[in-house]
């Protein structure tokens, strides 16, 4: 480390980011943290500033970076409005267990508690949606706070940290030593826990392995695959964590949670042992805490999670194991069954995978454009390492139902269900892996929440492909409305711009597709343009709104609801 030297707060902070390994920061510039912006000028060889159009987009890009790399995604926003815009990404990072650090400009300490211009108490604002919220009131403590932020964001259950930066702290000067790069803390299973796990596996007749959460590496995934193979375990992925297990593996059973197929649901219901690794098993994964019941599951439950406070909080496990996915995978890589896996167990694995593959055939849908076939075509015409991003909405179920994800970085999806996520996430994915094919699935409402970030794709020459599902309504809410209040549709529809023309204002390529036979050539043109020009390509999908989800129609939901009411 270099000897302590005098610097202003912005210079000290940015040098700490460099030491901690930060290579990209996402920001919407603000005068409240101007010394940090100036300090970035001297670190252009190591840190790239990505200038975003709105703070929610910047925050989403940082959150996606955390998912992709396992390192904290870093975002800078200005005080007040900037912080409130970015809060949606902080909430996403919290519920998705993603390492992220949000730096927020703050009024100077000399103005604090006067409700000065754009003043907010960030400890109170972010207190329940971040792992740690603090304000750095002294310039000479910046290295300490930044080092701790990286440690907190990545330790135990990963998550977001928010640091407020008063102006006088950033403009102030101090002679202070830098802190060394943080060391990630890993929690590993004990030998006793592994012995108990082996015993439970030996006694189980219908075991099931459920994987999810964050922090997975290619090595950990291969080790878990080997574990599943040796012990004859069908494997499901938790809600919107489709990348956590290779969907092409013969032990793969499918996506667990809202929208899962009946055969998979029944398999988990009938399991006598569920081994949940890395996942909290939240409301979506457990279908409202019914698939695995809270507080006492009907199945024997082995719950592996990095935060001990989570173990026993919602579910009473038979065996709680406080460990992160990397350490657990390394540990079970050394386990082997005491006896040959039974023929019945291997038959169950084969049947589970066969059920999954049977559901990979496109279902029928009303109208001239079948979104099931669209999703299958994308699956079959992108590389295995392609990254598919989604936001929130029923349109995302088409990607989840048909695409086969093959590991870390192939899926970016907010488990918190936040809209506007898909496009910023696709931008972040392309920045991180420029040679990787990136396809964003976006609903027409979801896309319009952050479509201005097309400017980032244009500015940094990012060849992403965007599929906009245009049905002119808030489709997911419409489905709920038809289920609960059939036939009383109101306040759910909207008129859309010409998305295919809008993208051209950002120097991109745009087309409209409204028939099955037109999608394949349009998708080929979009991929070719994105790769050649390194600019965004957009296909606007105009389809029959009744086809709301794979195998589901709004008219069918309405008919079933009316039948229940008249019964």
Is the same domain home to 247 and 132?
Answer: no
* pLDDT at position 415: 94
Give helix then strand counts, H and E, for the chain: 21, 20
Is the same domain home to 463 and 423?
Answer: yes
* pLDDT at position 107: 75
Is the same domain home to 150 and 272?
Answer: no
Quickly state the pLDDT bin for 169 (edges 50, 70, 90).
very high
**Segment (H or E) for 467:** strand 465-470
Q: What is the mean pLDDT of residues 10-34?
A: 97
Is the same domain home to 146 and 245?
Answer: no
Residue 181 in any domain: the answer is: no
The structure's pTM equals 0.96
234 neighbors 209 (Cβ within 8 angstroms):
yes
* pLDDT at position 339: 86
- Measured distance CA(23)–CA(65) in Å, rounded: 11
Boundaries of domain holding 230: 191-358
- Measured distance CA(276)–CA(294) in Å, rounded: 14
CATH number of the CATH domain containing 25: 3.40.50.970
Residue 420 in any domain: the answer is: yes
Distances in Å between the Cα of 85 and the Cα atoms of 80, 359, 442 are 9, 39, 20
Q: What is the mean pLDDT of residues 262-286?
A: 96
The pLDDT of residue 7 is above 70: yes
Residue 363 in any domain: the answer is: no
Q: What is the mean pLDDT of residues 183-205?
A: 94
Asked which of 333, 358, 383 is the last residue of a domain, the reply is 358
Quickly state the pLDDT bin for 340 (edges 50, 70, 90).
confident
Is the same domain home to 393 and 345?
Answer: no
Q: What is the mean pLDDT of residues 464-480?
A: 95
**Segment (H or E) for 328:** helix 325-332
* pLDDT at position 110: 72
Tokens of 16: 């700490």
Q: Name the average pLDDT for the chain.
A: 95
* pLDDT at position 2: 67
Is the same domain home to 403 and 493?
Answer: yes
**Segment (H or E) for 527:** helix 516-533
Q: What is the mean pLDDT of residues 365-374?
A: 97
* pLDDT at position 118: 63
Residue 418 in any domain: the answer is: yes
* pLDDT at position 125: 87
Asked which of 117, 141, 172 is the last residue of a domain, the reply is 172
- Measured distance CA(378)–CA(399) in Å, rounded: 9
Length of the chain: 567
Distances in Å between the Cα of 339 and the Cα atoms of 232, 253, 328, 351, 528 are 12, 24, 22, 22, 53
Helix axes 343-358, 262-270, angle to 10 degrees: 150
Our count of domains for the chain comes to: 3
Residue 178 in any domain: the answer is: no
Residues 6+ apart with CB under 8 A from 126: 87, 90, 102, 133, 162
- Cα angle 61, 65, 70; round to 5: 155
The pLDDT of residue 255 is above 90: yes
* pLDDT at position 116: 61
The pLDDT of residue 44 is above 80: yes
DSSP annotation of 476: H
Is the same domain home to 484 and 395?
Answer: yes
Residue 376 in any domain: the answer is: yes
* pLDDT at position 341: 85
- Measured distance CA(540)–CA(508) in Å, rounded: 13
CATH number of the CATH domain containing 247: 3.40.50.1220
Helix axes 554-566, 475-484, angle to 10 degrees: 20
The pLDDT of residue 114 is above 70: no
Is the same domain home to 290 and 416?
Answer: no
Q: What are phi and psi of 75, to 5 degrees?
A: -135, 135
The pLDDT of residue 111 is above 70: no
Residue 179 in any domain: the answer is: no
Could you write out the three-class secondary structure of 82-136?
A: HHHHHHHHHHHHHHCCCCEEEEEEECCCCCCCCCCCCCCCHHHHHCCCCCEEEEC
pLDDT in tens, 72-92: 999 999 999 999 999 999 999
* pLDDT at position 94: 97
Is the same domain home to 121 and 157?
Answer: yes
* pLDDT at position 567: 82
Strand order in the sheet with 73-77: 48-51, 24-27, 73-77, 100-106, 160-166, 132-135
Is the same domain home to 142 and 165?
Answer: yes
Is the same domain home to 140 and 245?
Answer: no
Q: Alpha helices, DSSP H only, in 183-239?
A: 191-203, 218-231
* pLDDT at position 276: 98
Residue 185 in any domain: the answer is: no
Is the same domain home to 161 and 203?
Answer: no
């Amino acid at each position: 480390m270099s000897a302590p030297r005098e610097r202003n707060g912005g210079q000290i902070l940015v040098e700490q980011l460099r030491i901690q390994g930060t290579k990209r920061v996402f920001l919407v510039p603000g005068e409240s943290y101007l010394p940090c912006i100036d300090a970035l000028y001297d670190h252009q060889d190591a840190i790239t500033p990505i200038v975003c159009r709105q703070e929610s987009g910047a925050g989403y890009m940082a959150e996606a970076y955390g998912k992709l790399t396992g390192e904290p995604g870093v975002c800078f926003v200005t005080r007040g409005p900037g912080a409130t815009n970015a809060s949606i990404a902080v909430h996403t990072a919290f519920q998705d267990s993603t390492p992220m650090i949000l730096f927020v400009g703050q009024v100077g300490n000399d103005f604090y508690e006067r409700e000065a211009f754009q003043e907010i108490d960030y400890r109170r604002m972010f207190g329940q949606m971040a792992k740690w919220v603090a304000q750095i009131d002294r310039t000479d403590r910046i290295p300490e706070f930044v080092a701790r932020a990286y440690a907190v964001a990545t330790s135990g259950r990963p998550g977001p940290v928010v640091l407020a930066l008063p102006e006088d702290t950033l403009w102030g000067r101090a002679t202070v030593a830098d802190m060394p790069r943080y060391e990630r803390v890993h929690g590993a299973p004990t030998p006793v826990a592994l012995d108990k796990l082996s015993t439970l596996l030996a006694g189980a007749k219908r075991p099931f392995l459920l994987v999810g959460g964050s922090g997975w590496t290619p090595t950990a995934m291969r080790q878990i695959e080997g574990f599943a193979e040796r012990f004859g375990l069908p494997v499901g992925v938790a809600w919107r964590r489709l990348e956590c297990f290779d969907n092409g593996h013969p032990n793969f059973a499918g996506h667990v949670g809202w929208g899962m197929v009946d055969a998979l649901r029944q398999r988990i219901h009938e399991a006598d042992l569920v081994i949940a690794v890395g996942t909290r098993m939240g409301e979506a994964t457990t279908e409202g805490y019914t698939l695995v019941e809270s507080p006492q599951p009907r199945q024997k439950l082995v719950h592996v999670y990095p935060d001990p406070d989570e173990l026993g909080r919602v579910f009473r496990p038979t065996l709680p194991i406080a460990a992160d996915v990397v350490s657990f995978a390394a540990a079970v890589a050394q386990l082997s069954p005491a006896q040959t896996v039974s023929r019945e167990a291997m038959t169950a694995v084969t049947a589970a995978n066969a059920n999954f593959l049977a559901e990979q055939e496109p279902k029928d849908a009303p109208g001239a454009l079948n979104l099931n076939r669209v999703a299958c075509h994308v699956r079959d015409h992108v590389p295995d390492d392609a990254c598919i991003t989604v936001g929130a909405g029923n349109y995302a179920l088409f990607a989840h139902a048909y695409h086969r994800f093959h590991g870390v970085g192939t899926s970016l999806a907010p488990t918190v269900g936040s809209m506007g996520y898909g496009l910023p996430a696709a931008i972040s994915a392309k920045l991180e892996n420029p040679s990787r094919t990136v396809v964003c699935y976006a609903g027409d409402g979801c896309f319009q929440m952050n479509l201005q970030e097309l400017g980032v794709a244009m500015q940094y020459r990012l060849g992403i492909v965007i599929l906009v599902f245009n049905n002119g309504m808030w489709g997911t809410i419409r489905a709920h409305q038809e289920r609960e209040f059939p036939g009383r549709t109101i306040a759910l529809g909207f008129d859309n711009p010409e998305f295919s023309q809008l993208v051209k204002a950002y120097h991109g390529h745009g087309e409209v597709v409204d028939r099955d036979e037109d999608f394949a050539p349009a998708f080929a043109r979009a991929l070719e343009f994105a790769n050649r020009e390194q600019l965004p390509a957009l296909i606007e999908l105009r389809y029959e709104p009744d086809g709301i989800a794979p195998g589901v129609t709004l008219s069918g939901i309405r008919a079933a609801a009316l039948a229940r009411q008249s019964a």
